[in-house]
Amino acid sequence: MRGKNLKVRLLIGAAIALFFVFKRCSQREENPYTGRTQTISMNANEEIAIGLQSAPQIAQQHGGLHENNQYQALVDNVGNKLVNNSIARETPYKYEFHLLADPNTINAFALPGGQIFITYALFSQLENEDQLAGVLGHEVGHVLGRHSAERIAESEYWQGLTTAGSVGADMGGLVSGIGQNTLLTNGRDDELESDELGVRFMLKAGYNPEEMIGVMEILKAAAGPNRVPEFKSTHPDPDNRIEKIREAIEKYKGL
């Protein structure tokens, strides 16, 4: 009887796994702006809706929007210049740039669909407009690269395989661990792709992409000597990012 039950569990687990594998295959599509094939489970309008819905809560978590209109105008001007002089303007996304009041958290991030944020803690450490362009160009790259939408779809896939492993052979923990490592690796790849896109956007808009290296130095200093090892982080080590940025500058500066 125990053997029969195990066989039934294995069959059910295999069926669940096959369902999610076939579902993932049906969601594969090429990003027309990067040329990369991705797993995507939503359209651009759904991405935009998620970003617009989440933006107020994100702002609230970081102390709201900064009150200095002059600073906000600079962020808007630089962000819009990057978009209007690059392939980003050809996308369906609605790019909006927000300076957050948060004086402590050195960060910038993008929501699906074009909502882009930079904290005052990071903004205040930037030395020039080119560095601001480097930060915002990187975040535009995340939007155009559809990285959030891809992570959502890939997370659903690995959650499905984890369920299959749990049902079929008590291997949910193992599958979950493999999935987490895969998602971390993919996340680091997304950061490098956004850095490369940021270099392209900066060059098209007339900014000096070498200043992105200065941004990496700021982030490196903020992380301190006890920063999380790369293999455990969603972000590549700043030194590795600097190396890849230099390669991207050489690749695109003459185009």
Bridge partners of residue 109, in order along the sequence: 117
Q: Does residue 11 fall inside a structural domain? A: no
Q: What dihedral do alpha carbons 27, 31, 36, 39 form, nearest 10°?
A: -20
Query: What average pLDDT does range 182-189 have in this prediction?
Result: 59
pLDDT(13) > 70: no
Output phi, psi for 67, to 5 deg: -80, -15
Domain assignment of residue 12, yes or no: no
108-110: strand order across its sheet = 96-100, 115-119, 108-110
- Dihedral angle sign, alpha carbons of residues 186, 221, 214, 93: positive
Element (H, E) at 156: helix 147-169
Please check whether residue 7 lies inside any domain of the structure.
no
CA dist 135 and 169 (Å) reads 46
Indicate whether 182 pLDDT > 90.
no
122 CB contacts (<8 Å, ≥6 apart)?
106, 107, 108, 135, 218
Report yes or no on 1 lying in a domain: no
Q: For residue 136, tell me if it sits in a domain.
A: yes
In the predicted model, is pLDDT for residue 185 greater than 60?
Answer: no
pLDDT band at 231 (very low <50, low <70, confident <90, very high): very low
Question: pTM (2 decimals)?
Answer: 0.82
Domain containing 127: what range? Answer: 18-252
Please report where in the chains the tokens 């600097």 appear, as a residue.
242
Q: Is 233 left (phi over 0), alpha (psi -120 to 50) or beta?
A: beta
What is the per-residue pLDDT across 103-122, written as a single tens digit (0 to 9) for each? 999 999 999 999 999 999 99
Determine the average pLDDT of the residues in 176-201.
Answer: 74
For the chain, how many structural domains are there in total? 1
Looking at residues 74-102, what average pLDDT do you find?
Answer: 96
Residue 215 lies inside a defined structural domain of this protein? yes
What span, in angstroms and rounded, lies between the C-alpha atoms of 46 and 32? 18
Distance CA 116, CA 95 (A): 7
The better pLDDT of the pair 11, 1 is held by 11
- Supply the DSSP string of 186-216, one letter for each residue: HHHHHHHHHHHHHHHHHHHHT--TTHHHHHH
Examine residue 5 and state whether it is found in any structural domain, yes or no.
no
Q: Kindly state whether residue 9 falls inside one of the protein's structural domains.
A: no
pLDDT per residue over 15-58, tens digit each? 666 665 666 676 688 988 888 988 787 899 999 999 999 999 99
CB 96 within 8 A of CB 116: yes
Q: What is the DSSP letter of 231?
A: G
Tell me the CA distances in angstroms from 93 to 43, 76, 110, 192, one per residue in order. 11, 16, 12, 21
pLDDT digits (tens, 9 = 90+) for 166-179: 655 565 554 455 54
